[in-house]
Amino acid sequence: MAPVETTPTGDGDGGVAESQEGVLLYYKYTDVTSLAGGREGLRIWYEMSCLELGLVGRVRVAKDGVNATLGGSLQSLRRHCDQMEAKGFEGIDFKLDRSHGALNERTRDESGFDRLRVQETDEVVSLGPRAAGILAKEGAPHLSPEDFHRELSDAKESEVVLVDVRNVYESRIGKFQCEGVKTLVPETRTFAQFPRWADTRERELRGKRIMMYCTGGVRCEKASAFIKAMGDGFENVVQLKGGIQRYLESFPEGGHYKGKNFVFDSRSSVSPRLVRPEDCTVGRYPQTKVRILCLHGFRQTARSFGGRTAKLRKRLRGAAELIYIDGPYLLAGGTRRAWSSEADGAELDPELGLEGLQTEGQGPLALACRYVEREIHALRGVGILAFSEGAAVVEAALSGGGLRCLRFVILASGFVDRNAGRDCIPLELPSLHIFGGDKDRQVPHQRSEALADRFDSRKILRHEGGHFIPSSKSYVADILAWIRETLSKTRGGL
């Protein structure tokens, strides 16, 4: 059996009781379609074997391999590793660690560790259409954690550049920082956005020793292959073997890695062992600010909505962090967006990595709801600020039983989507509704009032303007007071 390493417990003998809960991470790039039964057969096997062992978590069964994050007893997880090797999956770096369980019910639900999900996909991880044809087997050579550390310690900025392959919500809580070496952090929201970022940083990367890292290694395999394929001047690329996970095992004090390692299970983040547990923030900033996901309106973008709410964001910055996301559909011309494909010329943005969210027979509104659900979980948001069409998506998601991790929503100039096709069971989530009067020519106030009536717990803040969110000092103070009052009633305050 391939090595299965477990973080020592410090219980005297260094052992871990097999009944102790654990987390297992692994991936394997291989041609799954050549296996007996293909993808479907492997998916069925995963479902049966994992359920028999009492495992939970997520598994992606793709044409080019598998990627799994599983939870259960250490004994069951070890048995699963044995079963994988018996099935012919050799040479996998199984990353097994003990777990104290989910921090709370919310993090368990957010991470997907409340049940088992096995999904058939085209790729283990997708870089999007810009990287069509890029194969993991063409990736860069691997450096062990010790060699990676040694090379960083001796590196010069003029020769070496570090590239963080992870998304923005991961790099915000921790990254490699080495004096004299530049770390490039793409701040992408999906892996499919990495190629476009790399294109914009061509000058900074060309001719350098490019050292790449990610959580466990699966994304670096594809991302390093893409960098190498950029042509002359991009041959000198290496990737951290086993990712940050293995590095922190080799350098438990953190080494050149500063902060926490975001993980996709109920632990949410893992810190170097010398960091006190009470100093950890479980996958996000210390809770002096609330994180609010912002959804724009029809024919807007995350950037334009951010500009329209800049003053609001400035007045809230001491108490809230506003995070803006783009709608999934590009309108004709490619510069504006929507949350539904019903507009003429609307096409799904391939760089958002939504192929795994699509199901047969679903409508565009259902896809938008799943996309928002994914983003709120990934960004660890506690609330949503949604404008116009964005508010309609939020109402639809809530009516469909989604977004259970939220503690509040703020819906501005919103309405109930006429094509939603759902029952009218009242929604219980605390809600704040912002809208004007007759001056709003896009969404009549009667439709915003009908949206407010969908909620049992609601407050309405009217204004005298049109289709916008007021940002006067007194108006924002009312918004902030409502947020604080709401949070004080739902599992703690601001």
Q: Is the pLDDT of residue 3 over 60?
A: no
Task: Write down the pLDDT at residue 272.
Answer: 52
What's the pLDDT tens digit per position in 300-310? 999 999 999 99
39 in Cβ contact with 62 (< 8 Å): yes
Is 220 marked active-site? Answer: no
Of the two residues 346 and 478, the one the predictor is more confident about is 478
Task: Write down the pLDDT at residue 1.
Answer: 43
Looking at the structure, do residues 258 and 299 belong to the same domain, yes or no? Answer: no
Q: Is the pLDDT of residue 424 over 60?
A: yes
In whole numbers, what is the pLDDT of the chain averaged over residues? Answer: 84
Q: What is the CATH number for 215? A: 3.40.250.10
Looking at the structure, do residues 309 and 421 belong to the same domain, yes or no? Answer: yes
Q: Which of 56-60, 67-71, 172-176 shows the lowest mean pLDDT across its residues?
A: 172-176
Residue 269: helix, strand or coil by DSSP? strand
What's the pLDDT tens digit per position in 61-83? 999 999 999 988 889 999 999 99
Catalytic annotation, pick one of 214, 220, 280, 294: 214
Q: Is the pLDDT of residue 16 over 60?
A: no
CA 213-217-218 angle, 5° bins:
125
219 within domain boundaries: yes
Q: Is the pLDDT of residue 40 over 60?
A: yes
Task: Write down the pLDDT at residue 238.
Answer: 97
Order the strands of the 337-338 sheet from edge to edge.
337-338, 329-330, 347-348
Percent of the chain past pLDDT 70, that is, above it, reads: 84
Q: Which of 52-56, 173-177, 288-292 shows the lowest mean pLDDT across its residues?
A: 288-292
Q: What is the CATH number for 11? A: 3.30.70.100
Looking at the structure, do residues 217 and 300 belong to the same domain, yes or no? Answer: no
What's the pLDDT tens digit per position in 103-146? 445 444 454 577 899 999 999 999 998 899 999 999 999 999 99
Task: Write down the pLDDT at residue 7.
Answer: 42
Q: Is the pLDDT of residue 417 over 90?
A: no
Of the two residues 491 and 165, the one the predictor is more confident about is 165
Closest by CA to 184, choosing from 207, 162, 206, is 162
Looking at the structure, do residues 382 and 268 belong to the same domain, yes or no? Answer: no
Over range 312-336, report the average pLDDT: 90
Bridge partners, residue 66, by sequence: 28, 61
What's the pLDDT tens digit per position in 246-301? 888 888 878 898 887 765 444 444 445 433 333 323 332 333 478 899 999 999 99
393 in Cβ contact with 386 (< 8 Å): yes
Q: Which phi and psi (to 5°) does residue 21 adopt?
A: -70, 145
Looking at the structure, do residues 144 and 113 belong to the same domain, yes or no? Answer: no
Looking at the structure, do residues 144 and 108 belong to the same domain, yes or no? Answer: no
Report how far residue 405's alpha carbon sits from residue 195's, in angstroms, rounded to the nearest whole number: 31
480 within domain boundaries: yes
282 within domain boundaries: no
128 within domain boundaries: no
Query: What single letter denotes the amino acid at residue 106?
Result: R
Looking at the structure, do residues 325 and 464 belong to the same domain, yes or no? Answer: yes
Task: Write down the pLDDT at residue 139.
Answer: 95
Report how far residue 346's alpha carbon sits from residue 327's, in angstroms, rounded to the nearest whole number: 11
479 within domain boundaries: yes
Closest by CA to 363, choosing from 346, 384, 375, is 346
Over range 196-206, report the average pLDDT: 94
Task: Write down the pLDDT at residue 378.
Answer: 73
Looking at the structure, do residues 332 and 475 belong to the same domain, yes or no? Answer: yes
Looking at the structure, do residues 323 and 444 belong to the same domain, yes or no? Answer: yes
193 Rama class: left (phi>0) / alpha (psi -120 to 50) / beta: alpha
Looking at the structure, do residues 295 and 337 belong to the same domain, yes or no? Answer: yes
Q: What are the E-state strand segments in 178-254?
A: 182-184, 209-213, 237-240
Of the two residues 467 and 17, the one the predictor is more confident about is 467
Looking at the structure, do residues 228 and 370 belong to the same domain, yes or no? Answer: no
Q: Which of 220, 238, 272 is the last residue of a domain?
A: 272
The secondary element (H helix, E strand) that includes residue 406 is none
Domain count, the chain: 3
Q: What six digits make up the tokens of 219?
A: 């994304």
Task: Write down the pLDDT at residue 188.
Answer: 87
192 within domain boundaries: yes
Task: Write down the pLDDT at residue 412.
Answer: 98
Q: Which of 237, 272, 307 is the last residue of a domain?
A: 272
Report how far residue 190's alpha carbon sits from residue 188's, in angstroms, rounded to the nearest whole number: 6
299 in Cβ contact with 338 (< 8 Å): yes
Q: What six digits make up the tokens of 345?
A: 């010329």
217 in Cβ contact with 143 (< 8 Å): no
Closest by CA to 120, choosing from 69, 47, 62, is 62
Task: Write down the pLDDT at residue 33.
Answer: 92
Q: What is the CATH number for 398? A: 3.40.50.1820
Of the two residues 272 and 29, the one the predictor is more confident about is 29
| pTM (predicted TM-score) | 0.58
Task: Write down the pLDDT at residue 411.
Answer: 98
Q: Which of 214, 246, 272 is the last residue of a domain?
A: 272
285 within domain boundaries: no
Q: Which of 61-70, 90-99, 278-287, 423-432 shows the lowest mean pLDDT across its residues?
A: 278-287
Residue 454: helix, strand or coil by DSSP? coil
Domain that holds residue 29: 4-121
405 within domain boundaries: yes
Q: What six digits make up the tokens of 140?
A: 């860069």
Looking at the structure, do residues 13 and 67 belong to the same domain, yes or no? Answer: yes
Task: Write down the pLDDT at residue 491.
Answer: 53
Q: Is the pLDDT of residue 213 over 90?
A: yes
CA 489 vs CA 281, 392, 471, 482, 484: distances in Å: 21, 26, 25, 11, 9
Q: Is the pLDDT of residue 372 over 70?
A: yes
Alpha helices by DSSP H, listed for 26-73, are 38-53
